[in-house]
Amino acid sequence: MKFLLPLIFTLTLFLSTSFASSDYPTKPINVIFGFQAGGGMDVTGRALVNEAAKILKQPMICSNQVGAGGNLALGRIKGESPDGYTICNATTGAFCRSPHMQPVPFDPFKDFTFIMQYGLFQYGIAVRSDSPWKTFEEFIDYAKKNPRKITYGTAGVGLGQHLAMEYLGKKLGIQWDHVPFTGGPQAITALLGGHVNAISQTSEWAEYVRSGKLRLLALLASKRMKSFPDVPTLMDKGFPFAVHGGLSFVGPAGMPKPVVEKLQNAFHEAMKSTAFIDIMDKFEYTIEYMDSETLTKFIPKDYKETGDLIKTLGIGLYKK
């Protein structure tokens, strides 16, 4: 009998978990956002969440826990119950890039369930339109000749836009100062107010470039943008470098497969909505889907490739 008790307990737990998974969701789902409200990731993610909630027929309650380039939210989410009722909006760079750039409060491979990816960031270097730099070359030339005179803002340490500037600084022998903010809107506000000379940031700058308040000097992703076809990428300028930044949803490790599939499928269906497509277009983000299985395989591959680059550059945690 003493041998049967553990078996009965395990079977009961399995059956109750399976039932709960098949019935999921039966109550509101909490969604944590690691970046400032009003930024591109926050706004696009909330748009997708709003549409997914209609499909799941349960409220999805969004809140922000800002800090450390989104890592504070991930540090919190790893300790939540893996029942699917608390998930997190996160960048793929948080798992593939940030652990090489700074200490993080999580293990990127052991602490999370990767639910899906819904898009890609676009990145760029921008300055005020009244600045003396009309081109990327003029900006770089000034920075090389004037050590520590250029300050640039980003939405946080260890993000792709920070890595890009570290890459350029290392490659070209530039000494410039990084000013991390809690989000993209804060970085842009600082630039507009003259508190930093430039921003290296995701495309929250797009509307300010269109209105003539900012000048976009270069793009940091692998392809040019339809909205700004004349703006070169770093690859166009001869640098074998591009930032990959995915927009995704994750949960704590150990989420039941049926729960992951329900969330994954609801988000995928929600990606077809006009409300979501329109807001992604507004921020110039690329819509690109990865299911849970594909994203789970992608993370360690990108982690290694990005880590190899950062080690070669001798920056981040490998700074000599």
pLDDT in tens, 131-165: 999 999 999 999 999 999 999 999 888 888 999 99
Number of domains in the chain: 2
Residues 183 and 116 in one domain: no
Domain assignment present for 73? yes
Residues 48 and 115 in one domain: yes
Residues 214 and 130 in one domain: yes
pLDDT higher at 197 or 38:
197
Domain assignment present for 49? yes
The rounded distance, in Å, linking the Cα atoms of 154 and 186 is 9
Q: Does pLDDT of 224 surpass 50?
A: yes
Q: How confident is the model at residue 13 (pLDDT cuts 50, 70, 90)?
A: very low
Strand partners, 199: 126, 153
Residues 112 and 135 in one domain: no
Structural domain span for residue 196:
123-219
Domain assignment present for 15? no
pTM for the full predicted model:
0.81
User: What is the mean predicted confidence (pLDDT) over 78-98?
Assistant: 95
Domain assignment present for 260? yes
**Which pLDDT score is estimated for 8?**
54
Domain assignment present for 7? no
Identify the residue whose tokens are 């395989």. 297
Residues 138 and 210 in one domain: yes
Q: What angle do CA 282, 88, 64 make, to 5 degrees?
A: 70
Domain assignment present for 310? yes
Q: Does pLDDT of 1 surpass 60?
A: no
Q: How confident is the model at residue 15 (pLDDT cuts 50, 70, 90)?
A: very low
pLDDT higher at 37 or 216:
216
Pair 297, 119: CB distance under 8 Å: no
Pair 319, 158: CB distance under 8 Å: no
Residues 250 and 116 in one domain: yes
Residue 274 sits in a domain whose CATH number is 3.40.190.150
Domain assignment present for 19? no
User: What is the mean predicted confidence (pLDDT) over 21-36?
Assistant: 92
Residues 206 and 267 in one domain: no
Residues 259 and 208 in one domain: no
Domain assignment present for 230? no
Q: Does pLDDT of 9 surpass 60?
A: no
